[in-house]
Amino acid sequence: MAEEIPVTQARADFAELVNRAGYGGERIVMTRHGKPIVALVPAADLERLQELEEAERQSPDTIIRLGAATHHTLESHPAEPRRIGIAAEHRPPGKS
């Protein structure tokens, strides 16, 4: 759980709070009128948050939608159905 501290107190203790977050790994939430407005977190926490945001932007749904859009732009005649042919040759058992 993050410690909550009023901005006025955080201003007076800023150097100590930076050390607690940076070296102690603490998360400190600064409040104004009792409402959270900003947080002081270790740099590693920020990196994880940015990685999560990037992963959300690259979600499978997004990739599928992008792939579908690309598929249509590559087709020469999007209104025509695509034909898929399968070539096979029957070989009786024992003959290669």
pLDDT tens digit sequence for 47-79: 999 988 888 887 666 555 555 554 444 444 455
Q: What residues contact 86, with CB distance under 8 A and at least 6 apart?
A: none
* Residue pLDDT, tens place only, 19-40: 999 999 999 999 999 999 999 9
Give the pLDDT confidence score for residue 63 in this predicted structure. 53
Residue located via tokens 């203790």: 13
Give the start-to-end residue ranges of the domains of the chain: 3-41
Over 70: is that where the pLDDT of 17 sits?
yes
pTM comes to: 0.56
**Under CATH, what is the fold of the domain 3-41?**
YefM-like fold (3.40.1620)
Give the pLDDT confidence score for residue 67 in this predicted structure. 53
